[in-house]
Amino acid sequence: MSEMKKPVIIDTLGKLLDGGYAFNLWCVDCTRGGLLPIDPFVKKLGRDHPMDIDGHVKCGRCGGKNVEVRIQAPQAGDRPFQTNERRFMSLSDSSRPAS
């Protein structure tokens, strides 16, 4: 039996955070988007939460949840967050009842 090295499978928020990844979010309704760091999601959902965060993000502009989630790979030697729209997307605060 040859020993095969298992590739690192990134499937949780904690692994995304450790790897320097970010979320690249895109609101289908506004056709706008931006990068969002993993950190607040880890704080809210926990490191073991699957990287599927559908339903946990909302558009900061229209408040819609029709948001496409993509994973932004870390950029070598550069800070990943340079867009002015980084605060465009926000965590959906589901703990607060909508009024």
Reduced to 3 states (helix: H, G, I; strand: E, B; else coil), residue 72 is strand
Asked if 68 is part of the footprint of Zn ion (rule: CB under 5 A), the reply reads no
Nearer to Zn ion, 12 or 92 (CB): 92
Span of 3-11, 16-24, 46-54, 64-72 interacting with Zn ion by CB under 5 A: 64-72
Task: Kindly state whether residue 29 participates in binding Zn ion, applying the rule CB under 5 A.
Answer: yes
List CB contacts of 78: < 8 A, sequence separation 6 or more.
none
Looking at 47, 61, 65, 86, which residue binds Zn ion (CB under 5 A)?
61
- Between β-strands 22-27 and 67-72, what pairing exists: parallel, antiparallel or unpaired? antiparallel
| Residue position matching structure tokens 């729209």 | 85
Q: 38 or 59: whose CB is closer to Zn ion?
A: 59
Residue 81: left if φ>0, alpha if ψ -120 to 50, beta else—which one? Answer: beta
Asked if 62 interacts with Zn ion (CB under 5 A), we say yes
Give, as one character, the DSSP assignment of residue 80.
S
92 is a contact residue toward Zn ion (CB under 5 A): no
Residues near Zn ion (CB under 5 A): 27, 29-30, 59, 61-62, 64
